[in-house]
């Protein structure tokens, strides 16, 4: 982890998903809701176009927490999430992670997790992760 593991430390990760990513996620999970896969159907909804599965969007949390911040050796103990706005393919998003608390006796930390649309700065997803990492916390 290139960020010091102290309360208040932040880490930002920029990402986006393609329609191929959405289709692969649908295949793996079995969630073939046409809201994610069928532009014609999605046009009849409040969103007017296909949206990314909420769980696909939030999968960036496990990628970052397990490989970048705090990184290898992390064990995911819990995650809360609120889906605030839809996410769309080929849009840049920013995942923001901030250490809220650390329990050195248990080697755990609570980290806020948030996804923002990089252009509008509006939050799409918010939550809290609990991790254990014996080397970092």
How do residues 52-102 score in pLDDT, each as one tens digit? 999 999 999 999 999 999 999 999 999 999 999 999 999 999 999 999 999
Residue 2 pLDDT greater than 80, yes or no? no
Buried b (16+ CB within 10 A) or exposed e, 42-69: beeeeeeebbbbbebbbbbbeebbbebb
Instruction: Pull the structure tokens for residue 103.
Output: 């329990």
Band of pLDDT at residue 5, cut at 50, 70 and 90? confident
Band of pLDDT at residue 27, cut at 50, 70 and 90? very high
Closest CA to 80 of 115, 126, 123: 126
Query: Which CATH number is correct for 10-132, 3.40.50.2300, 3.10.129.10, 3.40.50.720, 3.40.190.10?
Result: 3.10.129.10
What is the mean pLDDT of the segment spanning 100-128?
Answer: 97
Please answer whether residues 81 and 57 qualify as being in contact, where contact means their C-beta atoms are separated by less than 8 angstroms.
no
What is the mean pLDDT of the segment spanning 20-48?
Answer: 97
Give the pLDDT of residue 1. 54
Domain boundaries, the chain: 10-132
Q: Cα–chain-centroid distance for residue 71?
A: 15
Closest CA to 57 of 89, 12, 96: 89
Please answer whether residues 132 and 104 qualify as being in contact, where contact means their C-beta atoms are separated by less than 8 angstroms.
no
Give the pLDDT of residue 4. 83
What distance in Å separates the CA atoms of residue 6 and residue 26, rounded to the nearest whole number? 37
What is the mean pLDDT of the segment spanning 9-38?
Answer: 97
């Amino acid at each position: 982890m290139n960020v010091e593991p102290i309360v208040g430390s932040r880490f930002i990760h920029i990402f986006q998903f393609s329609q191929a990513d959405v289709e692969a996620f649908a295949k793996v999970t079995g969630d073939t809701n046409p809201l994610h896969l069928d532009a014609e159907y999605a046009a009849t909804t409040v969103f007017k176009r296909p949206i990314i599965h909420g769980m696909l969007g939030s999968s960036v949390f496990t990628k970052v927490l397990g490989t970048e911040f705090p990184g290898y050796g992390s064990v995911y103990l819990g995650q809360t999430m609120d889906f605030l706005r839809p996410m769309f393919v080929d849009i840049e998003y920013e995942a923001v992670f901030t250490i809220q608390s650390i329990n050195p006796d248990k080697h755990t930390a609570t980290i806020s997790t948030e996804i923002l649309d990089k252009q509008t700065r509006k939050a799409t997803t918010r939550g809290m992760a609990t991790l254990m990492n014996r080397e970092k916390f």
